[in-house]
Amino acid sequence: MLLEIKDLNAGYGEIKALFDVDLTLNQGSTLALIGSNGAGKTTLLRCITGLIKPNNGYINFNGDNIEGCKPHDIATKGIAMVPEGRRLFPSLTVEENLLMGMCNNREQEWTLEKVYNLFPALKVFRKKMATVLSGGQQQMVAVGRALMANPRLLLCDELSLGLAPVVVKDIYRTLKTVTKTGLSLIIVEQDINQAIVASDTFLCICEGKVVMSGTRETADRSLIANAYFGN
C-alpha cells in the first residue's frame, strides 16, 4: 500500500473540517475524491502535503509516517500536487514554472522535453509568462510542473474547474497515459461522472466525513449522488 490514512481529524483553528477520515491507496491506482462545495476535499489534500497539521490520526506514505512533516520534506518523499486554482508563479515563465517542479531534487525521470511531448502546446509558449496562457494551457503547466517533481503520488485538486469539457477530456486522457508508468493518483472533482470514469476506486465525503467508498465497477451513480448531498 502506498498511502494509508487513519482517523484523520483536521481543521482551521476552531473550525473542524475533517472527522475520522480513513483512506487507502495502492501503488499505481487512481482514487477519486468526490464531494460538494466545502466537503473537505481540499483540506484532506492539504493534510497529505503537509500544508495543514492534522489534529490527530496518521498518514503513512510508502512506509513513513508523514503527518506533521514539513511540506518540503513531504514533496521530497514523492508527493506532488496540482493545487486548486493552479497556483502558477506569475513572475516566472512557463519553462521556469516547470523547472520549479524539479527543485525537490528527486531522481530525474521527467524532463522538460518529456513534458513538452506530453503537452506540445506548451513548447511554443515556453519563454512567455505563465499568466498569459489560456486556462487550459495554464492547467497543463500546473500538471507538467507536478510531473517534473517525479512524484510517486500525484494529487489533482479540481483540474476541470473553469475549463471547457474538451480541454478537461484532453488533460484526463494525458493523465491516463502517465499512470501507466506506475504513478498513483488522487483526483478531486465535484463532477461525479468525470471522477468515477477516470479512477479505480472512489471515496465520497460530505461535511468532513467519509460517507461512501467503493470501486469503479460497483459504483452506483444514484447512491453516490445521495451520499454526495448528505442524504
Residues engaged in binding another protein (CB under 8 A): 49, 51, 70-72, 75-76, 80-81, 83, 87, 89-92, 96, 99-101, 103-106, 145, 149
d(CA 19, CA 226): 20
Q: Which stretch binds ligand ATP (CB under 6 A): 2-10, 20-28, 35-43, 192-200?
A: 35-43
Which H or E element spans position 24? strand 15-25
Cβ atoms of residues 48 and 75 within 8 Å: no
> Given the rule CB under 5 A, which residues bind Mg ion?
42, 84
All three cell numbers of 177, joined, read 497515459
> Where do we find the cell 479505480?
200
Which residues, in sequence order, are CB contacts of 231 under 8 Å at separation 6+?
none
* Contact call for residue 83 and ligand ATP (CB under 6 A): no
Closest approach, Cβ 231 to another protein, in A, equals: 35
* Spatial separation of the C-alpha atoms in residues 88 and 79, rounded to whole Å: 18
Q: Smallest gap, in angstroms, from Cβ of residue 85 to Mg ion?
A: 9
Q: Can residue 145 be called a binding residue for ligand ATP (CB under 6 A)?
A: no
Provide the minimum distance between the beta carbon of 224 and ligand ATP in the complex, in angstroms, as a whole number. Answer: 15
Can you tell me the distance from the alpha carbon of 231 to that of 224, in angstroms, rounded to the nearest whole number? 10
Q: From the list ligand ATP, another protein, Mg ion, none, which binds 90 (C-beta under 5 to 8 Å, kind-based)? A: another protein
